A = this chain, B = another copy of it.
Amino acid sequence: MAQPLAISMGEPAGIGPDLVLQLFAQRQQEALPPFCVFGAPDFLRARAARLGLDITVEETTPAEASDVFKRALPVVPVEGLVPDQPGQISPLSGQAVIRAIEQAVAAVLRGECRGLVTAPIHKAALYDAGFRHPGHTEFLAELCAAGGTPKLPVMMLAHGPLRAVPVTIHVPIKDVPGLLTKDLIVETASAVYHDLQNRFGIAEPRIGVAGLNPHAGEGGAIGREDMEIVGPAVAEMRVQGIDAVGPFPADTLFYPPYWRQYDAVIAMYHDQALIPIKTVAFEDAVNVTLGLPIVRTSPDHGTAFDLAGTGKASPRSFLAAIRLAHSMTEASKP
């Protein structure tokens, strides 16, 4: 039996559990690969009933999950009380949300599960439970490092062959130029290149790099960073054997005939990477974390408290996240 994907249940007040339940109900039509949910079985039963979904929740282990998946939603139970209160964060559930992530990561690291799809969390709801990480991804990087120094986790937004990676992420625009260094750009591109080869099965990845400034700085007329930082970073990538070109003006790089020349585009900041991908694929884009020892994807949306428990949230991004995690594990080299 193939190993299942691990899904962490995410914030119970949000839409994550709803989408997992909906997708489980559609597993045959959608030909989904087997997965198991790390979470609270009673809570998932209550949420399924609330959504009017006739789903049997079966407590199990990763080893049995792929078999269980045919008849019931396999849930690897985590300790903790989780109330079914859509839209209302509860101090009760924080511990279970964190344990679900920890145990799912551990199962993937042990090889019991093939990869991880995380449902969205709500950071503020986890502070009482001791969550002190800048975000979900940094927490995963720490868990994967098992006490050592975490590697730089790299965020990629993917929609089919359109893959965009911001070098800086959740920082103010005013801080972006100061944070961009040649080393950071090269390290990011290097993680992307490595994972395109080893997780996406692309033998010779081509990387396009966007400039920081309008028109990629126009030879220094519009800022010097593209000449002094981004350009030298691209040169260094090439020295390291990475087939990278740029910096290109970001506004033309995402025109389909241009981005299609690259397996990934490295952008310098959040909106530069996310605007093009959300403009064309808002509901279907997947958030992928590169640079980890495990495959990890997540839907590209938040907890959407206003839609939780209603059944009205779109499962398309979560569906794409499951499919991509599966195909990344299929393509992964041992």
Cα(A170)–Cα(B213), bound, Å: 9
Question: A residues touching B (Cβ–Cβ < 8 Å)?
Answer: 169-177, 212-215, 217-218, 222-225, 250-252, 254-257, 269-272, 274-276, 278-280, 282
Residues of B near A256 (CB, < 8 A) are: 279
Cα(A223)–Cα(B176), bound, Å: 11
Contact among B171, B223, B252, B282 for A222, CB-based, below 8 A: B171
Q: Is the CB of A223 within 8 A of B279?
A: no
Cα(A278)–Cα(B252), bound, Å: 6
Q: Is the interface of A mostly helix, strand, loop or mixed?
A: helix
Cα(A254)–Cα(B279), bound, Å: 5
Contact among B173, B218, B254 for A176, CB-based, below 8 A: B173
11 contacts between A and B (CB under 8 A): A170-B214, A172-B225, A173-B173, A174-B174, A174-B177, A214-B269, A255-B279, A256-B279, A271-B272, A279-B280, A280-B280
Closest Cβ–Cβ distance, residue A208 to chain B (whole Å): 14
Residues of B near A177 (CB, < 8 A) are: 172-174
Q: Is the CB of B176 within 8 A of A222?
A: no
Residues of B near A255 (CB, < 8 A) are: 278-279, 282
Closest Cβ–Cβ distance, residue A319 to chain B (whole Å): 18
Contact among B217, B251, B272, B274 for A172, CB-based, below 8 A: B217
Residues of B near A173 (CB, < 8 A) are: 173, 176-177, 212-213, 223, 225, 269
Besides A172-B223, A252-B282, A275-B276, 11 new A-B residue pairs in contact (Cβ under 8 A), listed by A number: A170-B222, A173-B173, A173-B223, A174-B174, A175-B223, A214-B271, A255-B278, A256-B279, A257-B282, A275-B275, A280-B280
Cα(A257)–Cα(B177), bound, Å: 32
Which of A169, A174, A272 counts the most B-chain CB atoms under 10 A from its CB? Answer: A174
